[in-house]
Amino acid sequence: MSSRSSRLLALIAAAIALLALAAAPAAAGPPGEDDNWTFLHSDPYKHYACKQKQANGDRWRVKTATLGRKDGINEGIGVYAVIARGSNDNRVRERTSKDWNDSWIYLSFRGVEASDRLWIQAAAYGPAEPWSDGRRVGGLKRCTDIR
């Protein structure tokens, strides 16, 4: 192979590498693989969350990820999450899920204010006091495109 051909192949390889780097930003993976998530707490499961700015400008989309344990998943125990606004009694959004995907449950809440609080727990105990115990949404890390 001539030196000219070698240089041409090297240039093509470099161009391909640059195109790969310039592609759309990488999506945030499950917690532990990147730093786009805020660790919330552990109960029988490990709970994480992050936030994305919504198009309307002043509200957030909050995404949660919960890593389950095999025994809890096998027993059919899911996750309960709530967004509270101003008090334990004002629960503006609530979700419960048993939709495990490779040991993870992902939930999403739209229209959340920075001053709201997020509480998430294994759906095996309660009741929750989401305002007292929850994490302020404004303090969550920002996430990129996640499930």
Nearest to 118 by CA among 141, 89, 93: 93
Tokens of 23: 């592609």
Indicate the domain borders of the chain.
Answer: 27-139
Global pTM?
0.76
pLDDT digits (tens, 9 = 90+) for 1-30: 566 655 545 544 444 443 333 333 344 456
Q: How confident is the model at residue 131 (pLDDT cuts 50, 70, 90)?
A: confident
SS3 118: strand
pLDDT digits (tens, 9 = 90+) for 25-39: 344 456 765 678 999
At 10, the amino acid letter reads: A
Which class in CATH covers the domain with range 27-139?
Answer: mainly beta
Q: How confident is the model at residue 133 (pLDDT cuts 50, 70, 90)?
A: confident
